[in-house]
Structure 1
Amino acid sequence: MSTSEGHSVLPTTSEDGVLTVRIKTSKEDLNEGIELDPIDRPSHSPESITEGVTGEENDEIVPLAKPLTTDTPEKLTSQTSVTFDPESTKERDTVIARMTSTDSSAPSTPKSPLSKRSPGISRQISSALLRRDSNLSVQESWRKKSASVRLKSSNNFVSFHNICYTVPQGYFWQHKPPKVILNDVSGIMRAGVNAIMGPSGSGKSTLLDILADRKDRRWVTGHVLINGEKQPHNFKCASGYVVQDDILTGTLTVRENVFLSALLRLPPDMTHDEKLEKVDEVIENLGISHVADTLIGTPFTRGVSGGQRKRTSIAMEMVVSPGILFLDEPTTGLDSTTAESVLQILHNLSKDGRVIIMSIHQPRYSIFRLFDGLTLLSRGNVVYTGVCRATVPYFANTLGMECDAFDNPADFFLDKLNEAENDLQPPNPETGDTGHPLGNKWQDSEEYRILTGDLDPILDKTIDQPDGIAPKYATNPLTQSLYLLGRGMKSLTRDPSAGISVWMLNIILGLFTGIIFFQLEHGENALLDRAGAIFFCMICNMFSVATSLELFISERALFIHENSSGFYRVSSYFVAKVFGDLIPLRLIPIPLFSVIAYWMVGLQADAGKFFLFMLAIFAQNMAAAGLVFFLGAALGVFSVAQTMFSLSLVFAMVYGGFFVSLSSIPDWMAWLQWFSFFRYSFAILMENELEDTKFSFCEGFNGSVCVNTTVLNGNDYLEDLDFRQFNIYLNFLGLGLLAVALFTLTYVALLRIKKTT
């Protein structure tokens, strides 16, 4: 059979239901720039198609990327295989008719960078297969050794049905209608690279986050199905997600970041060597083995490049071999060459049946051509969703918008979407009018009818299904805490500036306190001086506690990403951070300060009283650290948290019992003293210092000579202090309860962060 362009089309069928079409063309046509590139596979087709160019005489494959020479056969053959039901004669005949159709009146695909094959071949194969009959299973692959190699089939797909996302606006005293971010969005994404494109503010990232279950479900309506089943409540643990801004631990190397992901997320029955082997394999596949032992880098230390950081982020997800991988703007911040290499890696990863879904703004053509599926959004409305390379024919044949031959299709689509946004109208839910001119045409198109025919049966099967089972964490809470604590300790040793600064601060403040209150005597005014020295020691330790204010703020994004991706539980992270901060930054600095200040000031030279002094300072710091942790976790903004900590510190100092007598405070405000950690620690330290101590007071003077001397026992003086309502043990208990309450509030704040992200 011959086509109108003179190409020879020879259809054959095999017994296993694979239809093979061999299209012969001349070498001169190829030299003129006609490219027999692979038939584009639809995003809704899970099976396989293989295509290659073979020589007529020896049946040897001729890669099109290889220049044609005099040794190349004069007649070349493009071979295409399409899978169909071998028992269905009607389906077989339909496939043969569509692939060998020579109807010259069929609409041709506009010439563009998307299609450089001859128009006849485009009509017979591209239009017939890409835009019709979603039951045909199509995939493609160039092969150098064989013209017909079957790819591994996969049934992985993500379908979304009538997704709407609205968020409230204004405060409770304002009455504003909720803002619609996504409006009745539906589609299906199968194995391959699926891109979500659209102008800024179109809802790309929102749709991606909803598919990845990273949006608050309270504002989402519709259904997201995974392989035709309801999305599990903890679907985030079973899928991979690469954020737009690479969130990595800068003080760890590339290998250590990926290995930590493997330790936390791979099953415990895998040995340590097996996990390390898996890490090396992923690093090798992503092309970052040469920088595997290089630090990621911090704002103060140089590390790997932006493209290598992006590949590391992908490697941390690929180490668990997820069936579905989400990426938010993976090319942001990368140069064009690096961005193309990253997308080429993703394209290669998708060949084993993995579903890759990404949001992307405006890719260049070399990146755009790697997409298998494409979803175009504009102001929350779907303009097109389906096969990527069928988008240009859709715009030309259905919308009457032709893409120029040398225009980048991605730029062309965004230009048309921006133009259409100037003609937006208010939507009408009753009539189904989206208010978007291109959105209305999409809903009236034949492609939308075919898509609806695919989606409705999938949704109908899930009506009576129970909710999806939430995947479990791969490791237990204790193991997660130990790994996270090890990461924190390693980061502290490689970037010791935080620890050294705290230690030096305590040494300097200890020396300053010792110099100001050096060797206090027991004479006149000694009681007031000692009380001032003790209270000053308490205040000095607050400066070192304030350094932890940024602990949860600086790692907020890292915690959100890793917890959402199923690395660890909130409780494991909380325990690791608390112990990782208390041991090096709270437990070690206190002896440094106490040894210097206590003995220089000249407090009681008793070992028991010295250790009680350190214990009281440590208990006070625990309560203050709980307050700092809570403010950092609850507020999330350093300036606001710092202001609130300063305000809280003022209240705690006023109710400490040094500046003002607690009995003189009005009753309606006196209850606040029980929330002051200064109140408990000052009572402990004063009793510890004044107990069994005698002070001399001069009753009269004769010039510079004391006439009468009165000796006052410190125990008698303590009985008159209004803050000494409990003994030492009860005051320690008060500090402990206050610390436990504040740490509990910190954990609740972390749970709230998890719930709202």
Structure 2
Amino acid sequence: MGWECPPRQTTGDFLTSVTNPQERTPRAGMENKVPRTPDEFEAYWKKSPQCGSLQKEIAQYREDYPLGGTAGRDFDETKRMRQAKHVRPKSPYVISVPMQVRLCVKRAYQRIWNDKPSTLTTVIGRIFMSLVIGSIYFGTPNASAGFQSKGAALFFSVLMNALISITEINSLYDQRPVIEKQASYAFVHPFAEALGGIVADIPVKFVSAVVFNIIFYFLASLRYEPSQFFIFFLFTFLSTLTMSGVFRTLAASTKTLAQAMSMAGVIVLAIVIYTGFVITAPEMSKIPWFSWIRWINPIFYTFEALVANEFHGREFECSQFIPGYPNLTGNSFICAVRGAVAGERTVSGDAYIQTQYKYSYAHIWRNLGILIGFWIFFMALYLIASELNSATSSTAEFLVFRRGHVPAHLRHLEKGGKAGSAAEVAPATNNSSEKGGTSAIPSQHDIFTWRNVCYDIPVKGGQRRLLDNVSGWVKPGSLTALMGVSGAGKTTLLDVLAKRVSIGVVTGDMLVNGKPLDTSFQRKTGYVQQQDLHLPTTTVREALRFSATLRQPKSVSMKEKYEYVEDVIDMLGMQDFADAIVGIPGEGLNVEQRKLLTIGVELAAKPALLIFLDEPTSGLDSQSSWAICAFLRKLAEHGQAVLSTIHQPSALLFQQFDRLLFLAKGGKTVYFGELGDQSRTLLDYFESNGARVCGSSENPAEYMLEIIGAGASGKSSKDWSVVWKESQQAKGVQAEIDRIHNERASATPSEDGSPHGEYAMPFFSQLWCVTHRSFQGFWREPSYVWAKILLATLSSLFIGFTFFKPDSSLQGFQDVLFSAFMLTSIFSTLVQQIMPKFVVQRSLYEVRERPSKAYSWAAFLISNVIVEIPYQVFAAIIAWACYYYPVYGAAQSSQRQGLMLLFVVQFYIFTSTFAALVIAALPDAETGGTIATLMFIMTLTFNGVLQPPSALPGFWIFMYRVSPLTYLISGITATGLHARQIVCSDAELSVFNPPSGLTCGAYLNPYVTASGGQLYNPTATSNCQYCQLSNADQYLALSNIYYSERWRNFGIGWAYIGFNIFGTVLMYYMFRVKHYNPTSFVRGIRNGASLFCRVLKRRSGTTPQGKEADNGRLV
């Protein structure tokens, strides 16, 4: 064909190079004969004898192996022989379904065993919650005063057993990519993996249920009878399995985690409200549009069974009689609870649950069958959904552009309805444009040197040295390669030189022009990481401008920074995708474009000293690798200092570098110096020290690895790190470093016009830029915003129309109180929506932007808090409207409506700041979600609704006072119900007869005067109708809620928000900036106690043992 294959170039690299105008070189005399365009290559191939030979081979193959011939049947038979028994012949799977399930169960158990911290955390968390919630109801009397508390305890037991499974949604989404990949390879059916997970989780769920239910049951003073306990355990454990099926089905049926969590939030709301406690069964029948939910709610049947199991066959002493006169006789009194009979001093448990809940003990075993049916149904539905919804649609890579910024040559495809795929026909070009080119790079003059750098990290039993007396330098205009075997410490050395290590001890000298590094060093260097981490919602141009704005000095105008960004775009050939969204792999920039952006972000910062690159060619094909290295070569030729790690480059790539630092295992230097033409200087060093001669076709990089024993042979006749230490070249390196220090230290320092501070821009400029980018990211990710708004809207509408226009009875006022309680129940779901978003932002900041000193951690935190607030306020306004008007109507004053709105807005802002507080110091959103859920349950438990403060044990009163929901619910209900009159329903009236000869008024007047309430028929001489309360303020006072404290409660709410923000900053600073180890405090106490004991021993005359006795002093 006429193309020249350079010496030492591999066949594969040569074949790809002939299609790249930058790499290929025609042989002498063939310049005008070689094909250059794709059409010319195709025409040349079709005319070649090789093409004719291939066509003959294809024709012969089709003749020998026709479709449907014996070869095809033989292949099918071979495939059938490889398959296990009971596998369909046409099935792509090799093993049968039972074998697949057995394999998946084994793997699931291994996964559980290898993730013991997660399992232990779940069990310990359950123990903790059982102790907390059980202790709340400790000592509940077996009398009528304990009816409400017993119902609340059973309600909590059901919810804690059933809703714990919601965390499985996160774990299933974590496993989904692996399952989809293995299903595409026909390893196992997705439903086999799902069934394996179900089977493996049952023992864990059983252990968790045992520890929770045993502690809770007996601590909450429930019925101390074996049969009742085992019935309780059976139903709660079955409810756990059933709800696991519900949430697993939800995870398997949805496409995104945000979608699943939004739906889960509404489902949990429906389950909790229609369990039978928040709204009793008789009240549910009055809700025409939602009453059917109870029949498809598994927890409804569980709660009925538990209540009937607790109250059946028991007579409870009455705790309060009406009227409360001494020496009551006949039927002139009644117990102040539902189900009571006039003149009876005890209350039948069966009568109470029949009157209050419409429950019957006869339904227990019917409910057990229904619950088992639900479990089987949802598990089957989960398996079906896992199989049908497992495949993800795969499409070609395509770019996504900002609206109105699609390049001109792609707009015709956009009009055709597939703008994204247009990018496939416009791959990135790596040619530097004539306009900008690398001439825009500022020339550098500073020299970075390091001498005898060592790095030790703590390991169990001592210290481990990762770098051992490494020396070298990087000069402007040079391209230095950092190579070594795997584990030699290449990236470690790069991190140490770039001051990016946070643990261990670094010793040695690292100087710029012979002077110590100042706080601006990290900002003045560029570091191109191996991982291409970028914010998915920004465009390429915006990412470059962000870096230039924050990392170039404040003295440089914004216009100059943006102009320099355009020069960088031209340099890297990114004009075709400069306005494209970074996106995610597969829907955004491809691998090469992401690598170019990573380099561009560092170049846009205009590094004043040098650029570090960590394996910039990893993940790229040979052509892309060549383009990257050629660009680095151009940077060096224009005065940039470059230090890059590279792993086994091809011979041509290796020749692009000027100098090499070669490391052996243990971080020991094998060689540092010039490479020379065709790597001759390097080869001469090894050959002169006893290595074999490198062949003319060998790759010098592979030759080096083989010589030191890291190649295919894995053997070396000598320790080359020792050879280096004793060589003249090593001494020459030290002499050159001394010369650089002496020459540069006395020279006048060059100023780049930038300050020597840690950051280039002031704090408020940082905050403005980061906040602007965060708002931009939210705007371009509408799925997150819509999920938030959808959750707020649907949950509020659901609550509003569930508690639609309650009447003025006691039950109606209780419904209003529970409606406010349920309004806060979406707290956990809102928090778990926010946390993953925060973690993505934090990962980018901590891995790339914080080490480069782009902006401070305070700016990062504050911006993430600020950006959530407008969306939380908007969601709160919608939630308020959807909740307030159905429940309270529009007749209240504007002041009350406005205050209610303020409380709802405050709650949503509190939610976002609480999410930031919890996740600030934690490693991942799953852990944060677990902790936030536990903390939320604590605040929900102690807010005074389910257990009034007067009924709490004395040691839990402080939790009632510190729970933020105490003040929120108090403020909402007091604002909405103040001064409303109570009109008891017939079922709520206490009906009894006065003594003979007295009217109801005469008989009850002293009692009403002392205790309050209302007597509806004072002139009657029989069937006195007495209502225990007369207005809403009396009812709210039972829960310690007062209208006069509404503004105080509002102020306390803002104090909690301020505490969340302060705590976020403090937690992040302690655990993510200073890396505080919480165990060090405990260790310090232990060491102090040990020292104190040793001092006491010495004073008592006892000789200390061990080390102290040997050296005669205390350590």
Range class of TM-score, shorter chain:
0.7 to 0.9
1:699-726 deviation digits (Å, cap 9, x = unpaired): 3459xx9962545122233344346698
Are 1:699 and 1:707, in contact at CA under 8 Å, matched by a contact in 2? no
SS where residue 276 of structure 1 aligns?
Answer: helix
What is residue 641 of structure 2 aligned with on the other side? Answer: 355
Cα separation, partners in 2 of 1:445 and 1:333, compared to 1, 3 Å: same
What is residue 328 of structure 1 aligned with on the other side? Answer: 614
Are 1:553 and 1:637, in contact at CA under 8 Å, matched by a contact in 2? yes
SS where residue 164 of structure 1 aligns?
Answer: strand
User: What is the number of equivalent residue pairs in this alignment?
Assistant: 601
What is residue 446 of structure 1 aligned with on the other side? Answer: 728
Query: Is the aligned partner of 1:235 residue 2:521?
Result: yes
Cα separation, partners in 2 of 1:272 and 1:189, compared to 1, 3 Å: closer
Structure 1 alignment gaps of length 5 or more: 1-30, 36-63, 72-151, 171-175, 426-434
What is residue 22 of structure 1 aligned with on the other side? Answer: none
Q: CA deviation at 1:444?
A: 0.8
Distance 1:220 1:241 in 2: 19
SS where residue 334 of structure 1 aligns?
Answer: coil
Q: CA deviation at 1:681?
A: 0.9
User: 5 Å matches for 1:517-556?
Assistant: 517-556=803-842
SS where residue 647 of structure 2 aligns?
Answer: coil
What is residue 601 of structure 1 aligned with on the other side? Answer: 887
TM-score, reference length from structure 2: 0.50
Give percent identity, aligned residues only: 24
1:656 paired residue among 943, 958, 961: 943
Are 1:556 and 1:636, in contact at CA under 8 Å, matched by a contact in 2? no
What is residue 746 of structure 1 aligned with on the other side? Answer: 1064
Are 2:548 and 2:606, in contact at CA under 8 Å, matched by a contact in 1? no
Amino acid of the residue matched to residue 444 of structure 1? E
Are 2:444 and 2:641, in contact at CA under 8 Å, matched by a contact in 1? no
What is residue 309 of structure 1 aligned with on the other side? Answer: 594
Give the structure with the larger strand fraction. Answer: 1
Distance 1:308 1:483 in 2: 24
1:408 paired residue among 675, 696, 699: 699
Amino acid of the residue matched to residue 169 of structure 1? V
What is residue 1112 of structure 2 aligned with on the other side? Answer: none
Q: CA deviation at 1:218?
A: 5.5
Structure 2 alignment gaps of length 5 or more: 9-23, 32-441, 993-1016, 1018-1022, 1077-1115
Are 2:828 and 2:932, in contact at CA under 8 Å, matched by a contact in 1? no
Are 2:612 and 2:642, in contact at CA under 8 Å, matched by a contact in 1? yes
1:730-751 deviation digits (Å, cap 9, x = unpaired): 3233322222222222223443
Cα separation, partners in 2 of 1:330 and 1:749, compared to 1, 3 Å: farther
What is residue 916 of structure 2 aligned with on the other side? Answer: 629
Cα separation, partners in 2 of 1:34 and 1:597, compared to 1, 3 Å: closer
Amino acid of the residue matched to residue 595 of structure 2? K
Cα separation, partners in 2 of 1:618 and 1:169, compared to 1, 3 Å: farther
Query: Is the aligned partner of 1:612 residue 2:907?
Result: no
User: 5 Å matches for 1:701-740?
Assistant: 708=1025, 710=1027, 712-722=1030-1040, 727-740=1045-1058
Q: CA deviation at 1:753?
A: 2.8
Are 2:548 and 2:561, in contact at CA under 8 Å, matched by a contact in 1? yes
Distance 1:661 1:639 in 2: 32
Cα separation, partners in 2 of 1:700 and 1:166, compared to 1, 3 Å: same
Cα separation, partners in 2 of 1:269 and 1:230, compared to 1, 3 Å: closer
Distance 2:647 2:952 in 1: 62
Are 1:166 and 1:219, in contact at CA under 8 Å, matched by a contact in 2? yes
What is residue 219 of structure 1 aligned with on the other side? Answer: 505
Cα separation, partners in 2 of 1:423 and 1:353, compared to 1, 3 Å: same
Distance 1:32 1:739 in 2: 69
Amino acid of the residue matched to residue 526 of structure 1? G
Distance 2:932 2:898 in 1: 28
Are 1:619 and 1:736, in contact at CA under 8 Å, matched by a contact in 2? yes
1:52-104 deviation digits (Å, cap 9, x = unpaired): xxxxxxxxxxxx97865799xxxxxxxxxxxxxxxxxxxxxxxxxxxxxxxxx
What is residue 485 of structure 2 aligned with on the other side? Answer: 199
Are 1:194 and 1:371, in contact at CA under 8 Å, matched by a contact in 2? yes
SS where residue 777 of structure 2 aligns?
Answer: helix
Query: Is the aligned partner of 1:513 residue 2:799?
Result: yes
Are 1:399 and 1:441, in contact at CA under 8 Å, matched by a contact in 2? no
Q: CA deviation at 1:349?
A: 0.6
Q: CA deviation at 1:436?
A: 8.8
Distance 2:830 2:1045 in 1: 28
Distance 2:1067 2:669 in 1: 37
Distance 2:696 2:877 in 1: 75
SS where residue 178 of structure 1 aligns?
Answer: strand
Are 1:398 and 1:445, in contact at CA under 8 Å, matched by a contact in 2? no
Cα separation, partners in 2 of 1:67 and 1:462, compared to 1, 3 Å: closer
Cα separation, partners in 2 of 1:726 and 1:387, compared to 1, 3 Å: farther
Amino acid of the residue matched to residue 182 of structure 1? L
SS where residue 635 of structure 1 aligns?
Answer: coil
Distance 1:154 1:582 in 2: 45
What is residue 696 of structure 1 aligned with on the other side? Answer: 983
2:567 paired residue among 281, 285, 290: 281
Cα separation, partners in 2 of 1:400 and 1:436, compared to 1, 3 Å: closer
Are 1:652 and 1:678, in contact at CA under 8 Å, matched by a contact in 2? yes
Q: CA deviation at 1:341?
A: 0.3
Amino acid of the residue matched to residue 541 of structure 2? R
- Superposed CA RMSD in Å reads 3.5
Worse-matched range after superposition: 627-636 or 617-626: 617-626
Cα separation, partners in 2 of 1:617 and 1:421, compared to 1, 3 Å: farther
Worse-matched range after superposition: 711-720 or 543-552: 711-720
1:177-228 deviation digits (Å, cap 9, x = unpaired): 1222112222222231111111221111110011111112762111211222
Query: Is the aligned partner of 1:185 residue 2:504?
Result: no
1:20-72 deviation digits (Å, cap 9, x = unpaired): xxxxxxxxxxx99999xxxxxxxxxxxxxxxxxxxxxxxxxxxx97865799x
Amino acid of the residue matched to residue 935 of structure 2? S
Structure of greater relative contact order (alpha carbons < 8 Å, 6+ residues apart): 1
Query: Is the aligned partner of 1:378 residue 2:664?
Result: yes
Q: CA deviation at 1:566?
A: 2.5
Q: CA deviation at 1:546?
A: 2.7
Amino acid of the residue matched to residue 739 of structure 1? I
1:530-555 deviation digits (Å, cap 9, x = unpaired): 11111001113442233111132112
Cα separation, partners in 2 of 1:438 and 1:235, compared to 1, 3 Å: same
Distance 2:745 2:603 in 1: 32
Cα separation, partners in 2 of 1:460 and 1:701, compared to 1, 3 Å: farther
SS where residue 511 of structure 2 aligns?
Answer: strand
What is residue 783 of structure 2 aligned with on the other side? Answer: 497
TM-score, reference length from structure 1: 0.73
Query: Is the aligned partner of 1:163 residue 2:448?
Result: no
Are 2:804 and 2:887, in contact at CA under 8 Å, matched by a contact in 1? yes
Worse-matched range after superposition: 223-232 or 600-609: 600-609
SS where residue 468 of structure 2 aligns?
Answer: strand
Distance 1:334 1:737 in 2: 53
Distance 1:208 1:686 in 2: 61
Cα separation, partners in 2 of 1:750 and 1:342, compared to 1, 3 Å: farther
Distance 1:257 1:34 in 2: 41
Give the structure with the larger helix fraction. Answer: 2
Are 2:514 and 2:745, in contact at CA under 8 Å, matched by a contact in 1? no
Query: Is the aligned partner of 1:591 residue 2:877?
Result: yes
Distance 2:803 2:640 in 1: 70
Amino acid of the residue matched to residue 619 of structure 1? Q
What is residue 341 of structure 1 aligned with on the other side? Answer: 627
SS where residue 564 of structure 1 aligns?
Answer: coil
Rg larger in structure: 2
